[in-house]
Amino acid sequence: MKTIFITGATSGIGAACSELFAQNGYRLIISGRRADRLQKLAQSLKSQYNCSVLPLTFDVSLFNDCETAIQSIPDEFKTIDVLLNNAGLAAGLASIQDGHINDWETMINVNLKGLLYMTRLISPIMIKQKSGHIVNISSIAGKENYANGNVYCATKHAVDSLSQSMRIDLLAHGIKVTNIAPGMVETEFSLVRFKGDEQKAKNVYIGLTPLKPQDIADAIWWAVSRPDHVNISDIIITPKAQANASTTIRK
């Protein structure tokens, strides 16, 4: 039985991946900061799929907390076949001249440093195993920039760049690296970006059919379930109504 470690499993893409990998017989380590959601998800996955699930509550932007959480993993879960670096967020949508320093720091700490911390802690486990697969969730914002996306786009470009670097550094160790670059996916992403403003969040998806988190989970499952000799390097996925980071068609 294989094990996947999913960050940001309490919502959206991470929750959908938890469900799909559980359905496909994986053992799961699920993480996020909201303990109540993690417990509920763990219970629901165990009862639906009779799988082993280890919920770990911690903040990926705090290195010591990542380290403590990983050290607490019991032997049963210690072989980590897949690391899904998914936890992330956009905070605000302000121009560079008006941006809030706290928002910038949050995005850099979670999207960039958090992904680095998790990779630094888990890649040595994979190196010892001589196998593993790291999947990084970047974004279409990691391929192109859009108005007021500035720091979010920069963190996702950095994720795209790190996926390329990881593929080089981990090549000799038999570890695969996949970069996933979604366009608009309806999750809590916009609610978080607009700090709980439901109307602003809804407006993002008005007049078009966005991707569902399950669409991204399907792509990740496909990439991870290829034969051992195949590495899927990069996937860009947008809704049919989105041509690139800033061009959409709405009814």
When CB distances are held under 5 to 8 angstroms depending on the partner's kind, the choice from ligand 8X3, ligand NDP, none that residue 33 binds is ligand NDP
Determine whether 229 is exposed, middle or buried from the number of CB atoms within 10 Å of its CB (0-12, 13-18, 19+): exposed
Query: In this chain, which of 141, 154, 211, 223 binds ligand 8X3, going by CB under 6 A?
Result: 141
Q: Which of 26, 117, 152, 205 is catalytic?
A: 152
CB of 142 to ligand 8X3, least distance (A): 8
CB of 150 to ligand 8X3, least distance (A): 11
Closest by CA to 210, choosing from 41, 8, 13, is: 13
* Residues 187 and 202: beta-carbon distance below 8 Å: no
Determine if 139 is a binding residue for ligand 8X3 (CB under 6 A): yes
Closest by CA to 123, choosing from 159, 81, 65, is: 81
When CB distances are held under 5 to 8 angstroms depending on the partner's kind, the choice from ligand NDP, ligand 8X3, none that residue 179 binds is none
* Residues 232 and 226: beta-carbon distance below 8 Å: yes
| Cα end-to-end span (Å), the chain | 46
Helix (H) or strand (E) holding 88: none
Closest by CA to 53, choosing from 86, 29, 18, is: 29
* Residues 118 and 7: beta-carbon distance below 8 Å: yes
- Reduced to 3 states, what is the DSSP secondary structure of residue 19? helix
| Residues 179 to 208 in contact with ligand NDP, rule: CB under 6 A | 182, 184-185, 187-189, 192
Determine if 18 is a binding residue for ligand NDP (CB under 6 A): no
| Residues 96 to 135 in contact with ligand 8X3, rule: CB under 6 A | none
Determine if 56 is a binding residue for ligand NDP (CB under 6 A): no
Q: What is the C-alpha separation between 85 and 66, in angstroms, rounded?
A: 13
When CB distances are held under 5 to 8 angstroms depending on the partner's kind, the choice from ligand 8X3, ligand NDP, none that residue 92 binds is none
Q: Is 152 annotated as catalytic?
A: yes
CB of 200 to ligand 8X3, least distance (A): 13
Residues 99-138, one symbol each (x = binds ligand NDP by CB under 6 A, - = not), give -----------x--------------------------x-
Name the site residues for ligand 8X3 (rule: CB under 6 A).
139-141, 149, 183-184, 245
